[in-house]
Chains A and B, each alone.
Chain A
Amino acid sequence: MDGKVIVVTSGKGGVGKTTISASLGAALAMQGKRVAVVDMDIGLRNLDVVMGLENRIVFNIVDIIKGKCKIKQAAIKDRRIDNLYLIPASQSDDKDTIKPENMIWLTNKLRKEFDVTLLDCPAGIEQGFKNSIAAADEAVVVCTPEVSAVRDADRIIGLLYAQSITPKLIVNRIVPKMVESGDMLSHEDVVEVLSIDLIGLIEMDDRVVVATNTGTPLILQEDSKAGMAMQRIALRLDGHPDLPIENPMIQKSFWKKLGSKFSRKN
């Protein structure tokens, strides 16, 4: 059976697409799937450094499409996680080098080799985005609980619907303390505004910075809440759609819980 192609997109930059692509790829591979994660950001590649595979790049996606190499030559195998491969972007080419039809051709080949192909979409709605969604079966839209990110997510969701793709939403970088004090949009607020199904909630987690610093997969860090959330999202993406979504909450001590109950009566 052919594998599926999932695009990770957001519209706004810096909301966590690349980290999420890398982590979901790693989690799916650890669940036994053969996974390719593709960096779609031609000219500004970064997935390679997030995955810690930057010094093993020989060929890239543009080389595959131009026929300079085979997919197997360009796909970098992760040595820490079995069945996880990265197809890096080109750093020197123009972003208009690839066309949607090239991506459809490439992903059709990838479907034969991999159970899941994740496309790490660049920010914006230009060529890189068009290339990414032209080839995708499913989409995950990432946003943070901010006005700008939610607005861009709304635009992206509209463009995905126009391609007959019904996306699922990840709300990233939730700070439970701020949500509770009313200084951050809650995921309920975001879902209400966007009216779209959730696939996961990810808490703000310092571990992400550490994982990115060192290029180690976030999900291999056992104490990372974000990593655990990603693993659960990976399960939902692949065969367990009904796995309950955990709401990030403040770890409270007994006395604080008592205190908050008391203050709520006022």
Chain B
Amino acid sequence: MKFNTLLKKLMNKGDSKDIAKKRLKFALLTDKLEIKTDTLGNLQKDLVEVISRYFEIDKESIKIDIQRSEESSALIFNTPIIAAHRQRGIPAA
């Protein structure tokens, strides 16, 4: 065993468990960023509902997406506004 360790050092190989740990951490990270297929659809429906209370939007041209990089991930939501609703500012007649 000691001989193997020495051999490993001489051949300049790292411990395989360090590789395991690194791979594991990366796998867990990407696993957690994965989203259920219908989650984005449901989110879009809910967002449209909320935003429509304040703005008139083009429901067809909404884009919702998740952008991933190695370090982080971002939720990108893009919608053109057609008009702002004014009902909030109008006092009850």
Contacts and interface: CB of A to CB of B under 8 A. Distances in A.
Interface of A: 146-147, 150-151, 154-155, 177, 179-186, 189, 193, 259-260, 263
7 contacts: A147-B27, A150-B24, A151-B28, A181-B1, A181-B15, A182-B8, A259-B2
Interface residues of B, number: 19
A180 B1 contact: yes
A151 B21 contact: no
Contact of A182 (B16, B24, B25): B16
A182 B19 CA distance: 10
Given A154-B31, A182-B16, A147 B1 contact: no
Candidate in B21, B23, B25 with the most chain A CB atoms within 10 angstroms = B21
Contacts, number: 49
A231 to B, nearest CB: 29
Nearest to A189: B21
B1 A193 contact: no
Contact of B15 (A155, A183, A193): A183
A150 B15 CA distance: 18
Interface string B1-33: 110111010000011111011011101100100
A151 B29 CA distance: 10
